[in-house]
């Protein structure tokens, strides 16, 4: 019997329900090396002075400041150099009037001295020291307890432990710390799922959600406990959910929540506990399930990775954050839409990327893992809103602490772009969408550079009229195969030939090659978006023939025959020419390091 979603809750209603059932967080003591990102659950008072003694803050000479008040560059003051203080040792000398002692940064100050003259403002002459600049009391020193005093409160409960807090805890001698703990059980469902690292059989896919959702739990301050894959078997699933409810404070299970015949999570939940709601008016995320098992909150997330992570961010993440006290740490940013967006008139979470203040859609559907890989967060489109215009300001709910790339480079795939990425001193996002879509993105002001392929007789270059064109490099395009006898294309109609996506210029060039070879109607088996995928498919025997750059055919050890060549051009909006990142990209493109690279 199929489940029918007759009544759908609004997102606000669903969020209100789950926030009324927030579990209580516990406590857990962790060693400092495992406490990063956790929420402190104790008041930390320093049992020591930091530093614990007066120490030198510079390499130089410890002395009495009163002795060098008259010191000048042209009238140095002469002092007797009476010893030195090794690092980590108690001084065995006392500084008297007219004396100085050599010290290093961090070494203990000798008695009698109240300041340090830096070594560059002094000169040694035999057993005497010439001081050319005066110092005041305490200059170039750290006083005992000057950073943290004994008995001082250094951290309060509720603080997220970042590298700064961990360093402070170490400075006051703490080797472990009490944090808030919320054990969140994470599992995926489906007989088609296989743990990463194992071999796939036909029809199987790797388990993504156990890993992405567990990481998202940790980002919220929870403690993820991964239970792996629950099979689509009623009794085994029920037993697995019982174990999760027994061991955890909150349960997250992805998949098997929809209306298919084999979807059974909601059926098992009805038997073990309570179904509070099943179905929300949200895209993606309609089949979301919420209930309780043994009074523990239970979330049934959609199986598609993008949907699962989106629903987690809207419903489960607020519960975890409220439990551990990180509601104020929700990562958000604002930007302007790079292109208009049409909606369906119902609440939608649109997956987007961010670069240079522009927010651009990357949503290819909830089943696409590339959406998840290219998205920085989601934009919430309210009910009844059917269109958002280009330039409209929107708020982006980020998928954790994601770094914003300095440049977006979009268009034709080329392995040499990886060389550029290694040269550039900042993060650059390369998105392979084909020459046409890359040029459109650059014309819209979204992509900073479009990567466009130009070949002989191809006509005008996409975007050439409105964008500045920077020449890059030429490359050989080849037919590749494991069997050299196939390179003449004889009998190609019976071979498996990997093709290219429609928006790639490689598709047009390859079709032209086939037509000139007398095989215009060859049916291509599958589509590739990258030259690496073409070479890998042929090398692995998934395809008999492929079309791509010579470089990767050589690296894969394949036989090849040159059939065409093209030139890679880089197109950019002229108004962006003064941006530092754009100038840096062009400098890297013309650099000797790039030109002399074996792959360039």
Mean predicted lDDT score pLDDT of the chain: 90
Beta bridge partners of 61: 102, 117
Answer whether CATH 2.170.190.11 is correct for domain 55-142. Answer: yes
CA dihedral for 325, 320, 32, 142, sign (positive or negative) = negative
| Lowest pLDDT segment from 391-400, 454-463, 547-556 | 454-463
- Domain 332-404, architecture per CATH: Beta Barrel (2.40)
Instruction: Report the C-alpha gap between 530 and 549 in whole angstroms.
Output: 10
Residue pair 413/503 in contact by the 8 Å Cβ criterion: no
Percent pLDDT > 90 in the chain is 63
Looking at CATH, the fold of the domain delimited by 26-50+147-181 is given as Molybdopterin biosynthesis moea protein, domain 2 (3.90.105)
Q: Is 561 exposed, middle or buried (0-12, 13-18, 19+ CB in 10 A)?
A: middle
pLDDT of residue 600 exceeding 70: no
Return the pLDDT at 364: 62
Residue pair 401/333 in contact by the 8 Å Cβ criterion: no
Beta bridge partners of 307: none
Instruction: Report the C-alpha gap between 334 and 351 in whole angstroms.
Output: 14
Answer whether CATH 3.40.980.10 is correct for domain 11-25+182-328. Answer: yes
- 148-177 in b/e form (b: 16+ CB < 10 A) is beeeeebbeeebbbeeebbebbeebebeeb
CB atoms within 10 A of CB 527: 13
Looking at CATH, the fold of the domain delimited by 409-595 is given as D-Maltodextrin-Binding Protein; domain 2 (3.40.190)
pLDDT of residue 435 exceeding 60: yes
Comma-separated ranges of CATH 3.90.105.10 domains in the chain: 26-50+147-181
pLDDT of residue 90 exceeding 80: yes
pLDDT of residue 523 exceeding 60: yes
How many residues appear in the chain? 600
The average pLDDT across 563-591 equals 92
pLDDT of residue 524 exceeding 70: yes
Return the pLDDT at 373: 65
* pLDDT tens sequence across 240-256: 999 999 999 999 999 98
pLDDT of residue 366 exceeding 70: no
Comma-separated ranges of CATH 2.40.340.10 domains in the chain: 332-404
| Lowest pLDDT segment from 167-176, 305-314, 514-523 | 514-523
Return the pLDDT at 1: 44
CB atoms within 10 A of CB 321: 21
* pLDDT tens sequence across 329-365: 788 889 999 888 888 767 888 888 888 788 888 876 5
Return the pLDDT at 370: 57
**Helix orientation angle between 11-19 and 317-324, rounded to the nearest 10 degrees:** 30
Residue 77 neighbours by CB under 8 Å, 6+ apart: 67, 68, 70, 71, 130, 131
Instruction: Report the C-alpha gap between 89 and 102 in whole angstroms.
Output: 13
Return the pLDDT at 280: 92
Return the pLDDT at 2: 47
Residue pair 340/387 in contact by the 8 Å Cβ criterion: yes
CA dihedral for 575, 580, 583, 588, sign (positive or negative) = negative
* pLDDT tens sequence across 165-212: 999 999 999 999 999 999 999 999 988 999 999 999 988 999 999 999
Is residue 12 very low, low, confident or very high in pLDDT (cuts 50, 70, 90)? very high
Is residue 8 very low, low, confident or very high in pLDDT (cuts 50, 70, 90)? confident
Comma-separated ranges of CATH 3.40.980.10 domains in the chain: 11-25+182-328
Residue pair 268/236 in contact by the 8 Å Cβ criterion: no
Return the pLDDT at 438: 92
The average pLDDT across 56-66 equals 96
More confident site: 414 or 524 = 414
């Amino acid at each position: 019997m199929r489940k029918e979603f007759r009544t759908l809750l609004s997102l606000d209603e669903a969020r209100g329900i789950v926030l009324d059932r927030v579990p209580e967080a516990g406590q857990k003591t962790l060693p400092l090396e495992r406490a990063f990102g956790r929420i402190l659950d104790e008041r930390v008072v320093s049992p020591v002075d930091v530093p614990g003694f007066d120490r030198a803050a510079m390499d130089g000479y410890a002395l009495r400041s009163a002795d060098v008040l008259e010191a000048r560059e042209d009238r140095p003051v002469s002092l007797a150099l009476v010893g030195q203080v090794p690092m980590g040792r108690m001084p065995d000398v006392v500084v008297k009037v007219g004396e100085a002692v050599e010290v290093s940064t961090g070494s203990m100050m000798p008695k009698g001295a109240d300041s340090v003259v830096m070594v560059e403002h002094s000169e040694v002459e035999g057993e005497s020291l010439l001081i050319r600049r005066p110092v005041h009391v305490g200059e170039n020193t750290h006083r005992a307890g000057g950073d943290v005093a004994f008995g001082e409160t250094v951290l309060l409960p509720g603080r997220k432990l970042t590298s700064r807090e961990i360093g402070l805890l170490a400075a006051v001698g703490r080797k472990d710390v009490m944090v808030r703990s919320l054990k969140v059980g994470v599992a995926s469902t489906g007989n088609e799922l296989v743990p990463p690292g194992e071999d796939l059989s036909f029809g199987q896919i790797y388990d993504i959600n156990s890993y992405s959702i567990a990481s998202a739990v940790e980002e919220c301050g929870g403690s993820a406990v991964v239970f792996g894959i629950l099979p689509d078997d009623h009794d085994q699933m029920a037993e697995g959910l019982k174990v999760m409810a027994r061991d955890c404070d909150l349960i997250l299970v992805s998949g098997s929540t929809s209306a298919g015949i084999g979807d059974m999570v909601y059926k098992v939940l009805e038997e073990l506990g309570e179904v509070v709601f099943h179905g929300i008016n949200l895209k993606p995320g309609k089949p979301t399930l919420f209930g309780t098992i043994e009074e523990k909150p239970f979330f049934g997330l959609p199986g598609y990775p993008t949907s699962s992570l989106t629903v987690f961010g809207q419903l489960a993440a607020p519960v975890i954050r409220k439990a551990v006290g990180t509601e104020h740490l929700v990562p958000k940013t604002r930007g302007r839409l790079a292109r208009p967006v049409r909606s369906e008139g119902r609440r939608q979470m649109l997956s987007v990327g961010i670069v240079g203040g522009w927010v651009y859609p990357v949503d290819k559907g909830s089943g696409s893992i590339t959406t998840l890989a290219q998205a920085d967060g989601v934009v919430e489109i309210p009910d009844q809103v059917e269109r958002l215009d280009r330039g409209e300001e929107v708020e982006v709910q980020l998928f954790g602490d994601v770094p914003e790339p300095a440049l977006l480079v979009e268009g034709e795939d080329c392995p040499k772009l990886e060389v550029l990425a290694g040269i550039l001193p900042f993060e650059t996002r390369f998105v392979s969408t084909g020459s046409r879509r890359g040029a459109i993105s650059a014309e819209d002001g979204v992509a900073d550079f479009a990567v466009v392929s130009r070949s002989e007789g191809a006509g005008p270059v996409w975007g050439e009229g409105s964008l500045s064109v920077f020449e890059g490099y030429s490359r050989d395009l080849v037919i590749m195969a494991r069997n050299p006898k196939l390179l003449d294309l004889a009998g190609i109609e019976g071979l498996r030939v990997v093709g290219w996506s429609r928006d790639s210029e490689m598709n047009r060039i390859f079709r032209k090659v086939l037509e000139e070879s007398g095989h215009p109607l060859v049916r291509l088996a599958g589509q590739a978006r990258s030259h690496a995928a073409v070479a890998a498919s042929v090398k692995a025997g998934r395809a008999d023939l492929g079309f791509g750059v010579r470089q990767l055919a050589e690296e894969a050890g394949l036989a090849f025959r040159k059939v065409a060549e093209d030139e890679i051009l880089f197109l950019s909006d002229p108004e962006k020419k003064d941006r530092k990142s754009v100038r840096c990209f062009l400098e890297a493109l013309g650099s000797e390091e790039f030109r002399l690279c074996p792959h360039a």
